[in-house]
Amino acid sequence: MDASERHLRLLTETTAAVNSTLDLEEVLHLVAEKVAAALEADACFVYLYEERTGELVLRATHGTSVEEMTRRPRMRPGEGITGTAAAERSPVMIPSAAHLDPRFKLFPNLPEEEYESILAVPILARGQELAGALNVRTRQPRAYDETEIELLQAIADQVAQSLLHAQLYAQAQRRVVELEALARISEAVSESLYLEESLQKIVETTMDAVDATGAALVLEDGRIAWPEGRSGKHAVRTPLRWKRRVIGELVADRDAPFSDDDRALLEAIAHHAAVALEHGRAVMRGVLAQEIHHRVKNNLQTVASLLRLQSRAEDVDPREALEHSVNRILAIAAVHEVLTEQRDEDVDLHELLDRLRSSIVQGLGAGRSVDASLEHVSLAGSRATALALVFSELLQNALEHGAGAVRIELARRNGDVVLAIADEGGGVDGAEAGTGLSIVRALVRDELQGNFELTGSRAEVVFPS
């Protein structure tokens, strides 16, 4: 068999092997292996051109292992011997002492200096469009003849087509993964009425889609809505935009750098996350509106009951009765205000009672000293309304009928909540209940399931927390 027949057979066999798969990584490793075998070389290095960075990146080798390298070798066209072949779009052959050539580029984690000869050719797609470059190396000096150079260039031309098909296949595979990820997110967003469930699904899908070690959604107020996994060496922060406004960030971490495809997928996921966030907030706003309407209705019914009770009382100063009714309504309004501000089902009694204290003292204090020691205690909205009314009645009573300084205490004691209001007056033990104290006793008994005691000038309410 003459050289031309042998080269034709090697070209045919190499092309058939490379075209046997569409997996890009497998194609690249087959190229390195088959090219080295075809030219009886000790090593083969395959570089792909990365258009985003304008660099040639080593993607496969035969004779050394790219997986063992700490960082993939990169070079721009024109750098190194292989980069020169890529830039000039023509083969470069050095038969011996290639590492002494002034164009040689040394990579610390790539032992190229152990090879004597090098033959590098460009990989060109669609004529002169640079797709990469490859070289073959031998440990002994070797001069490649014209037919061997033509063989390697012919193989490189066939490799260019195989790489194009493999890259298109890889892009299609990535697109399938992206569509599957976005479909899972869309399904989670449309099916779940609970915002936390949607956010959890988005974060978990993000980690699967880009092989992230960790991910999180960070809201515009800085609160981390859903963290998952661990941080890595590289992080991408993708803004969540809704109607041209940034409402948060999708953060993804992993140990390997993120590609342009990864970033594009994260942008698509971030868009779905923004939709989910606003969808969930809209649902919550609807739920909140229903809850507010319910609370307003209940509070108005409470006000009506208190006014009826007040109207039945005898020998009551109309002005004083009206003032008491106003304070009762303000007490209910204070609970409603705190619930709306906090957007929570529970009320911080420290904040609520402090607001009521300021309001009542301003209207009735008349220079009296009112000190308060209030612990932070949370209470459900409905019970907080009852306690606000109790507090309002007792503080009004101390200011109108007591004397001297007034002391307010709110604390926890043995699993109970204790509210005490005392003044420096004499008080009346066992006094018959007026309208205000009747309201207090009824609310403590029925709404708070607690006990009320009036001892001298000290009124104490104890109920389970």
Query: How far is it, in rounded angstroms, from Cα 269 to Cα 263?
Result: 10
Residue-level pLDDT at 6? 65
Q: Which of 170, 249, 246 is closest to 206 using CA atoms? A: 249
CB proximity list for 221: less than 8 A, separation 6 or greater: none
Q: Are 417 and 410 in contact (CB under 8 A)?
A: yes
Residue-level pLDDT at 91? 93
Q: What is the DSSP string of 157-193?
A: HHHHHHHHHHHHHHHHHHHHHHHHHHHHHHHHHHH--
Strands in 55-62's sheet, in edge-to-edge order, are: 74-75, 55-62, 43-50, 129-138, 117-125, 92-94
Residue 326 parent element (H or E): helix 318-342
Distance between terminal CA atoms of the chain? 97
- Token reading at 274: 């923004």
Q: Are 98 and 118 in contact (CB under 8 A)?
A: yes
Residue-level pLDDT at 430? 43
Maximum CA extent, the chain:
129
Q: Are 288 and 336 in contact (CB under 8 A)?
A: no
Distances (CA, A) of 3 to 33, 148, 247, 297: 21, 9, 68, 97
Residue-level pLDDT at 3? 57
Query: What's the distance, CA 279 to chain centroid?
Result: 17
* Residue 278, burial from CB neighbour count under 10 angstroms (0-12, 13-18, 19+): middle
Query: How far is it, in rounded angstroms, from Cα 62 to Cα 363?
Result: 89
Across the strands, what pairs with 107? 110
Q: Are 89 and 121 in contact (CB under 8 A)?
A: no
Query: How far is it, in rounded angstroms, from Cα 379 to Cα 465?
Result: 7
Query: How far is it, in rounded angstroms, from Cα 277 to Cα 248?
Result: 9
Task: Report all structural domains of the chain as residue ranges with CATH numbers, in order of start.
Answer: 3-170 (3.30.450.40), 192-284 (3.30.450.40), 315-464 (3.30.565.10)
- Token reading at 5: 């027949």
AA identity, residue 186: S
- Token reading at 165: 């098909």
> DSSP label at 65?
-
Residue-level pLDDT at 338? 59
Per-residue pLDDT of the chain (465 residues; tens, 9 = 90+): 455 666 666 667 666 666 666 677 777 888 888 888 878 899 999 898 888 888 998 888 888 765 454 567 889 999 999 999 999 999 999 999 988 889 988 887 677 778 899 999 998 887 778 888 989 999 999 998 888 888 888 888 877 777 777 667 666 666 666 666 666 666 655 555 456 667 777 788 778 777 888 888 887 777 776 677 777 788 888 888 887 788 888 888 888 888 877 888 888 888 877 777 776 666 555 544 455 444 555 555 555 555 565 566 666 566 666 666 666 666 666 655 655 555 556 777 888 788 878 777 776 656 678 888 888 888 776 677 777 778 877 887 887 778 888 898 988 888 888 888 888 877 654 444 566 777 788 778 887 888 898 888 888 989 887
Query: How far is it, in rounded angstroms, from Cα 399 to Cα 368?
Result: 8
Q: Are 31 and 18 in contact (CB under 8 A)?
A: yes
User: How many helices and strands in the chain, by DSSP H and E?
Assistant: 10, 17
